[in-house]
Amino acid sequence: MSRGTCPRVNSYGCFLIFSAVLFAAIVADVGAYSCHEVRTAFQLRQVGPLHRVPETPGTDVDLLVCKHQGPSCCTRKTEESYQFAVKRETLHDIHSYSYELEHLLSGHSDAFHDMFQYLLSFSQGHLSSLMEGTYSSLSRQALPHVNQLFSSLSLYLRGANISVEASVHKFFNNLFPLVYTRLINPGIEGNIRIGSDMGDCLRMIRQDVNSFGPHPATMAQELAEALGAGRQLGLALEQGLEVMNATEHVSLSKECAKGLTKMVYCSHCRGLTLIKPCVGYCLNVMRGCLASLSELDQPWRKYTSLVEQLTHAMAGHHSMELALLGVRGYVNEALLYAQLHGPLITVTVDKVCGLSTGKPTSMQPTSPEVTTSTVASFSPLPSAAPSKPLPERWLGKFAHLRSSFPLKPSKNNKHNLRTLSREFLMYLHRYKSFFAALPEMLCEGENVVDDTTCWSGDDVVESYSGRVVGNGLHAQRQNPEVRVRVPNPALADVKERLENFNQETQQRFPKLDQMEVWEELGSGETVEGSSTDCDDEDGCQASGDGQSESCE
């Protein structure tokens, strides 16, 4: 319709139009001050009993948190329900994030222990087959000592207070009487009972006469170093789980509950159920609530760095795998050494313990003084080679015993410690800043509004104008939204224990930070005794590994 043909409206018509507009405004105003939407949101979010929300807004309501001028859809009972609900919802959100990290630690703790047990069983089977196949004359009596050795190593890896070096030397001490009576002097085993004084004497002087050469000490050292890192890693994962357990049981202070209620639900009291908090406002509230938790950030970052270094020390260069699989080789070399030096060992034993064909001399094997003075009267065997060259016929006699064996399981075997370690470090890297990033994670997505219109705690604003503070207790002094009175004592204790664990780990492994990481090994890395054919599953090729950089 053209402007020229538009009919004019008389005064009576204007009055009718004004009346209709006024009526519509009154109807809209009544709808705006209805608590219907508030009751609906209250019910959908399962805040509490629906009767706690009034049908219509009231005035002069005595509220403690959601105070404002004008009518309100909240009562004191409504506020109480909101406070209880927002604490429950916030703790649930915190647990949902911490559960992922807790699952990472607990799942890989079990996986590493399973892997350790697999490697122990593999190595034990290797050594048992050597005894049964090559040294059958002493295998039946030696196998219990083999089982005891690996049982001790298993307990050590699980955190037991056991010495690897002592366990290895005890194994060789127990093995020496068998070797002496069945391999070195096979004709006298009937005259010497292993549990007799002669057997005790042989066990006591084994290290002094150097009957097995350098091999027991070398084996003990390599096992202690490789298994020590694995044991400490297991303890570290347990320590991390303790930290996460404390996080799961964190409590929210009254000041925090008030701040959360004001941020999430006070807008509902005004009928604004769809408005969302401003990002900066949310960060202040969450950083105030999680101030004590954020104090774990620095020791946690140090902890994850140590865990990464322990993993490299354990699995880098296949350290633990090679150390355990090398047990058979060390024992074999030790037994060969004893046989090759049999005549010298026999002479020494005769001097200390008595003639091999008769009863031991009158010595007290349990007396340290007698043992020390007696052993001092003879010279032990050399640690590396005899003073005179051994006859070639002797070397040829035992050459067939130096059979090679695989230094690691087949590549078709999925039990790969390095692959497991790489996977673990890839995931752990994501959680290095977990405690600092937690407030931000709780203030992202659909929970907040970055710009445009948002809720500031007191009103609807275009942007939050308050100062956004940082993480930690010290920064909360300037927090305009949540008042932090004192640190959480339980979390302060967790922080102290985590710092002590970090310090103890560094003291026990002072060269951890000097460990060569896998990415620096190069694509041509090979392991002595293994095939030069290498694939990603072996973990021996750094190039093309997309997970490498994420673990730095």
What is the chain's mean pLDDT, rounded? 78
Would you say 427 and 102 are in contact if contact means Cβ atoms under 8 Å apart?
A: no
Three-class SS state of 3: helix
pLDDT tens digit string along 383-439? 433 333 334 443 343 334 333 333 333 343 345 888 999 999 999 999 999 999 999
Would you say 481 and 133 are in contact if contact means Cβ atoms under 8 Å apart?
A: no
Domain span at residue 67?
Answer: 23-82
pLDDT category at 192 given cuts 50, 70, 90 is: low
Average the pLDDT over each of 29-38, 88-97, 139-148, 289-298 and give the range with the smallest value: 29-38
Q: What proportion of the chain, given as a percentage, has pLDDT over 70?
A: 74
Provide the pLDDT for residue 517: 55
Provide the pLDDT for residue 305: 94
* Four-residue CA torsion sign, 386, 392, 395, 398: negative
Q: How many domains does the chain have?
A: 1
Provide the pLDDT for residue 510: 87
Residue 263 has pLDDT above 70, yes or no: yes
Average the pLDDT over each of 78-82, 256-260, 292-296, 347-351 and give the range with the smallest value: 347-351
Neighbours of 451 (CB within 10 A): 10
Region 42-46 average pLDDT: 90
Provide the pLDDT for residue 535: 40
Kindly state whether residue 75 falls inside one of the protein's structural domains: yes
Kindly state whether residue 33 falls inside one of the protein's structural domains: yes
Kindly state whether residue 52 falls inside one of the protein's structural domains: yes
Region 241-257 average pLDDT: 88
Kindly state whether residue 6 falls inside one of the protein's structural domains: no
pTM of the model as a whole:
0.74
Which CA distances in Å does 37 have to 61, 82, 93, 419, 548? Answer: 19, 15, 25, 54, 52
Region 71-87 average pLDDT: 92
Q: Which residue has the tokens 């009267």?
A: 377
Residue 533 has pLDDT above 90, yes or no: no
Three-class SS state of 78: helix
pLDDT category at 303 given cuts 50, 70, 90 is: very high
Average the pLDDT over each of 155-169, 178-192, 282-296 and give the range with the smallest value: 178-192
Read off the tokens for 300.
Answer: 């946690």
Region 514-543 average pLDDT: 39
> Residue 72's beta-bridge partner residues?
58
Read off the tokens for 62.
Answer: 């005595």
Residue 87 has pLDDT above 50, yes or no: yes
Kindly state whether residue 31 falls inside one of the protein's structural domains: yes
Provide the pLDDT for residue 356: 53
Kindly state whether residue 216 falls inside one of the protein's structural domains: no
Residue 163 has pLDDT above 80, yes or no: yes
Which CA distances in Å does 413 have to 118, 126, 237, 484, 518? Answer: 11, 16, 26, 55, 21
Region 291-301 average pLDDT: 95
Kindly state whether residue 222 falls inside one of the protein's structural domains: no
| Rg (the chain; Cα; Å) | 38
Kindly state whether residue 116 falls inside one of the protein's structural domains: no
Average the pLDDT over each of 39-48, 110-119, 263-272, 519-528 and give the range with the smallest value: 519-528
pLDDT category at 552 given cuts 50, 70, 90 is: very low
pLDDT tens digit string along 465-490? 889 999 999 999 999 999 998 888 89
Judging by beta carbons within 10 Å of its beta carbon (0-12, 13-18, 19+), is residue 492 exposed, middle or buried?
A: middle
- Return the higher-pLDDT residue of 186 and 217: 217
